Amino acid sequence: MNLVGIPNVLIMSATLASMFACTWVPLTNEGQGVRILKESEVVDCEKIGKTRATTADRVVIFARTDRKVREELDALARNEAADMGGNTIVRIGTVSDGRQSFAVYRCDSQ
């Protein structure tokens, strides 16, 4: 039995596990001010555009959790909406291959 390789395997396993737990997209200060609402909640808001967010849904051969992918897509969209002058986003459709579209709105009642 080769005991020399066991620490390397443990380190590699811990590294891979941490990659799946991490969110790689930081939410900017401006992005923190952007809400995520449903379409029915933005009827009194001004639509200012759309954005499409993309993130990795796999790391090497391993699929990332749906929750982590969604968190990163939301953070990317919130950051972009803030850059566009929006304060609200609405998800359009579903996540597919690590991609999702979002409508960007400016709502006065925020």
Query: Whole-prediction pTM value?
Result: 0.75
Task: Encode pLDDT of 44-100 as tens digits.
Answer: 999 999 999 999 887 667 777 888 999 999 999 999 999 999 999 999 999 988 899
* Distance (Å, whole) CA 34 – CA 103: 12
Host domain of residue 93: 5-106
| Beta-carbon count within 10 A of 63 CB | 10
How many independent structural domains does the chain possess? 1
Both tokens of residue 9?
């395997």
* Distance (Å, whole) CA 102 – CA 104: 6
| CA 100-20-57 angle, 5° bins | 25
Q: Helical H runs in 1-110?
A: 5-21, 66-84
CATH number at residue 14: 3.30.110
Both tokens of residue 34?
């952007």
